[in-house]
Amino acid sequence: MTVTDDVPLIDQHCHAVLARDPEPAEFAGGLTEAATAGTRDRWHSSLGLAVRRWCAPVLDLPAHASPEDYLERRAELGWWEATQRLLRAAGVEHWLVDTGHAPSPGLGPGEVCGAGHEVVRIEQVAETLASRVESPAGLLDGFREGLRERAAGAVALKTVVAYRSGLDVPGECPPDRDAAAAAEGWLRSGGTRLNDPVLHAWVVHEATRIGAELGLPLQFHTGFGDDDLHLREVDPLLLTDFLRATRDSGVAVVLLHCWPFHRNAAYLAHVFDHVSVDIGLTLPFVGVRADDVLAEALELAPFDSVLYSSDGSVLPELHHLGAVLWRHHFGRLLDSWLADDMVDIGTAERLAFGVGAGNAARLHPRLG
């Protein structure tokens, strides 16, 4: 028993799961951030070991079952049964689902168990408008209106500016005339993937204003992710000017994932009251080192700024592993603090509950 065992989790950032049986190569592709599984054996990794250790028993197999036995049993049960078992066993009450990236066909985890809530990807709002608006000014007005509309039923906003022009977002919002000039060029070039840095900075600042007005946190992808980002451009420290400029704006900023910059993210949460840090990080990816990664994040981050998430996507194994590995490693970390008499049991329980659910509940009033 550890203090994390019974915490009902809020998974404050995840994605839909695949609503059909995956092919073996597709499953292996889900175990990596590379674009495809490639020629490497993706099971032969920390994440592969975690699936065999923690997911196999949920499908009635012994721990450490071989990848072949795992996939055979999964196919025998079928995707729906496997998905139900894995998601239910995660012990999550609320799933905050980024709908900007979903498998096809996809299923929100909240349709299986717990409650699902939408996180709106702000770039998607701009990109959807591009083919419909008649002028650059129409794009700016349409974005303001469209984001408010999409946000009406959502619990948070999310930006992937890290993947496009990087996190060096200016502290000042570009004036509308500069954003309109940038929008003109972007629309002329086809207006598909929002990648103009000036227009993107404007979109992020507008979303910040709208998030503050509606009480919705703005999540930033930072650090490790798919292979179309430049890791050198996604250190959350690059957001320092933006964070300094928005500290009194009323918006809550959530730094997602963060690895290998989780210590930098923790520093930002330390110095800026409106910044929270997502400690779900990439726990399934870092394997036996998860205790240390969690401990590093907790060096500087105020404990009420730390949030759990899985970033699970496509494979329900990832939603499951996010939760069980958080319970396992965070529980072990707090056990070691208790053994060292660094903390009393009541405070350890408060810390575990806060990170698992309480801090996210406070940040997302719409969860009710």
State which residue has the least CB distance to Zn ion. 311
**Shortest CB 252 distance to Zn ion, Å:** 18
Considering only the stretches 194-202, 258-266, 269-277, 303-311, report the one whose residues sit in contact with Zn ion under the rule CB under 5 A: 303-311
Instruction: Let me know: does 112 contact 93? Beta carbons within 8 Å.
Output: no
User: In 10 A of CB 163, how many CB atoms?
Assistant: 18
DSSP three-state, residue 218? strand
Its sign, for the CA torsion 71, 72, 75, 81, is negative
* Angle, helix 197-214 to helix 122-130, in steps of 10 degrees: 120
Residue 194 or 281: the one with the smaller Cβ distance to Zn ion is: 281
Residue 202 or 224: the one with the smaller Cβ distance to Zn ion is: 224
**Shortest CB 162 distance to Zn ion, Å:** 11
Number of residues that bind Zn ion (CB under 5 A): 1
- 311 in contact with Zn ion (CB under 5 A): yes
- 317 in contact with Zn ion (CB under 5 A): no
Round to whole Å and give the CA distance between 276 and 269.
Answer: 6
DSSP three-state, residue 117? strand
Quote the longest CA-to-CA distance of the chain: 65
Which residues 6+ apart lie within 8 Å of 263 measured at CB?
296, 297, 299, 300
- 11 in contact with Zn ion (CB under 5 A): no
Residue 2 or 222: the one with the smaller Cβ distance to Zn ion is: 222
Residue 236 or 331: the one with the smaller Cβ distance to Zn ion is: 236
- 278 in contact with Zn ion (CB under 5 A): no
Strands 17-18 and 106-107: antiparallel
**Shortest CB 98 distance to Zn ion, Å:** 5
**Shortest CB 277 distance to Zn ion, Å:** 15
**Shortest CB 120 distance to Zn ion, Å:** 13
Residue ranges in contact with Zn ion by CB under 5 A: 311
